[in-house]
Amino acid sequence: MVSVCIAAYNGEIYIRQQLESILTQIGQSDEVIVSDDGSTDKTIDIIQSLGDTRIKIIYANGHNFKKNFENALSHATGDYIFLSDQDDIWLDGKYSTCLKELQTYDLVITDSRVIDNDMNVIIPSFFTYYNSGPGLLKNSLKNTYFGACMAFNRKILNFALPLPKTKEIGHDIWIGLVAEMVGKVHFIKQPFLLYRRHDLSLTNISTNLMTRSQRNIFTKLVSRFIVLYHVARFYVKHKL
Q: What is the extent of the structural domain holding 62?
A: 2-238
- 198 pLDDT band, cuts 50/70/90, is low
Q: Is the pLDDT of residue 84 over 50?
A: yes
Its pTM stands at: 0.91
Over range 21-40, report the average pLDDT.
98
Task: Give the whole-number percent of the chain exceeding pLDDT 90.
Answer: 86
Q: Is the pLDDT of residue 10 over 50?
A: yes
Burial annotation 30-54 (CB, 10 A radius, 16+ → b, else e): bbbbbbbbebeebbbebbeeeeeeb
Over range 16-24, report the average pLDDT.
98
Most confident of the ranges 10-24, 185-199, 200-214 = 10-24
Query: Do residues 143 and 176 make contact, with C-beta atoms less than 8 angstroms apart?
Result: yes
State the sign of the Cα–Cα–Cα–Cα dihedral 129, 131, 133, 138: negative
Pairing of strands 185-196, 107-115: parallel
CATH number of the domain that 24 lies in?
3.90.550.10
* pLDDT at 188 (0 to 100): 98
Count: domains in the chain: 1
91, exposed or middle or buried, with CB in 10 Å at 0-12, 13-18, 19+?
middle
Q: Is the pLDDT of residue 211 over 60?
A: no
d(CA 56, CA 197): 26
- 207 pLDDT band, cuts 50/70/90, is very low
Over range 198-224, report the average pLDDT.
62
* pLDDT at 202 (0 to 100): 46
What mean pLDDT value characterizes the chain?
Answer: 93
105-131 confidence digits (pLDDT tens): 999 999 999 999 899 999 999 999 999
